[in-house]
């Protein structure tokens, strides 16, 4: 298997060099960019699997970059680096499609662990489910290709975190899943009392499935968490319905 290609985007050259050196020692291929322009050039020139993106850059906002990159490359994972107290940036970043975030200052070992977790969610898990397809309420999901389609065949574009959360529910229909359980399954860590990442991802899923305000598919269970209420059929591609 080829080395995952990580792009570190940080305007501090020393941080970039240290992170690049450390991530390469952990088995990743690593490129460094110190600006938005350099980042866009690297993405255009190479196949990037994951971007470690600082929110503050000299020639643009990392949040704007996150939105633009997810619109062009929804399959490319993004981990945001934010100032420790900037909760607003973290929440906005998740709403724009970031797969995870890490507050500065941070331990490089934790960043490497977060990178592995995000890449694992995007790569290894679907292969375990192939070649089955999931069907619910007129929608179909192909876990191997990570494609979701509505009844009319139109593709519903999901970020990595959104798709992973959807699969968590499809594998556990009818079960009430607490925020702590969802946080552990999504990010491999326990929930912080002020961490809204699960709620933000759920809100985006509801919006993309036109479930907002009605909650036919994703129900909120008071003092419990969330529940996927639709019937889920799992069958091989091409099988009769």
Mean pLDDT in residue range 129-136: 72
Q: Which residues contact 130 (CB under 8 A, 6 or more apart)?
A: 143, 144
pLDDT category at 212 given cuts 50, 70, 90 is low
**Integer Cα distance of 60 and 37 in angstroms:** 9
Q: Which of 50-59, 142-151, 195-204, 231-240 has the lowest mean pLDDT?
A: 231-240
* pLDDT for the residue 197: 81
Residue 27 has pLDDT above 70, yes or no: yes
Judge whether 5-125 and 130-236 match in fold. no
pLDDT category at 241 given cuts 50, 70, 90 is very low
Q: What is the CATH number of domain 5-125?
A: 3.40.50.2300
**Domain parsing of the chain, residue ranges:** 5-125, 130-236
* pLDDT for the residue 52: 95
DSSP state of 115: H
Fold of the CATH domain 130-236: Arc Repressor Mutant, subunit A (1.10.10)
């Amino acid at each position: 298997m080829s080395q995952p290609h990580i792009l570190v985007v940080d305007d501090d050259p020393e941080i970039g060099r240290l992170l690049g050196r450390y991530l390469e020692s952990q088995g990743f291929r690593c490129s460094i960019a110190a600006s938005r322009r350099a980042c866009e050039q690297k993405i255009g020139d190479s196949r990037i699997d994951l971007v470690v993106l600082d929110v503050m850059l000299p020639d643009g906002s990392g949040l704007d970059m996150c939105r633009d990159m997810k619109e062009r490359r929804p399959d490319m994972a993004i981990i945001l680096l934010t100032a420790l107290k900037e909760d607003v940036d973290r929440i906005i970043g998740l709403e724009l499609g970031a797969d995870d975030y890490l507050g500065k200052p941070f331990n490089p070992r934790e960043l490497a662990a977060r990178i592995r977790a995000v890449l694992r969610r995007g790569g290894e898990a679907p292969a375990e489910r192939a070649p089955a397809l999931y069907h619910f309420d007129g929608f179909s999901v192909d876990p191997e290709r990570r494609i979701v389609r509505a009844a009319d065949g139109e593709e519903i574009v999901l970020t990595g975190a959104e798709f992973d959360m959807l699969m968590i529910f499809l594998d556990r229909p009818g079960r009430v899943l607490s925020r702590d359980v969802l946080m552990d399954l999504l990010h491999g860590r326990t929930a912080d009392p002020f961490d809204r990442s699960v709620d933000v991802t759920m809100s985006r899923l509801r919006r993309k499935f036109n479930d907002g305000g009605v909650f036919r598919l994703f129900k909120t269970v008071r003092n419990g968490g969330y529940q996927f209420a639709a019937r889920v059929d799992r069958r091989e591609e091409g099988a009769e319905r």
